Structure 1
Amino acid sequence: MDFVVNKVMDIDRDAENYRKKIEELIGDKQRELEKRINYMNLQWEEEGKSIKKTILLTTLNYAEKKAEEIKKEKEEQISVIEEKFFNNKSKIVDEVFSKIIHSL
């Protein structure tokens, strides 16, 4: 009878040790998974920052090129207007002066 009781106690002790080892293994795996998840989150954040930076730089470059095109276009328009003004300056002055004289 003592033999059977001792065997049952041995089996119970072994089962308890097995349960503890399983819990430790589960805890280890859970910590490992949490580390991997944290690492993946960091990678995701860094990749997101990189994508945002790339988009920002691309958009900024596009905006700068567009601004330069608009500036060039406006400078050309101003140049055309100035050229027309200087070509017609004496005529405009004569007409304004003539209108002033005739209105008196």
Structure 2
Amino acid sequence: MDRKQLVSGVLAKARKYRSFTRWISDGETAQRIAALSEKLQRRASVLAKPTENRIRRRAREIWEENGRPSGRDEEFWFQAEREFHDAETLAEKADSGSKPSEPGDDLA
């Protein structure tokens, strides 16, 4: 699974949990669910951050998925970098698109 899919899945869970707070009348429970949603968004940001080691591991995965061909190392490295860049962009959009709100704001 590429990094963008992983980050996208974590962000989808965060949105889902955040939407649950609209339906919950108990303030403490709504706050805990909102906190979980925020934690998932932070986790998505961390997962999207490229490091040389993460890129190396993903490039190796891609190489193995393609039957371990020789001479295509740069291609797989650049593909891994692109995947991380796409995931990072997705996480940044989610961070900038979500405004902090108080749990239960939609209840009134």
TM class by shorter chain equals: 0.3 to 0.5
The higher-RCO structure (CA 8 Å, 6+ apart) is 2
| Structure showing greater Rg | 1
More helix by share: 1
Q: What is the TM-score with the length of structure 1 in the denominator?
A: 0.32
Q: What is the TM-score with the length of structure 2 in the denominator?
A: 0.31
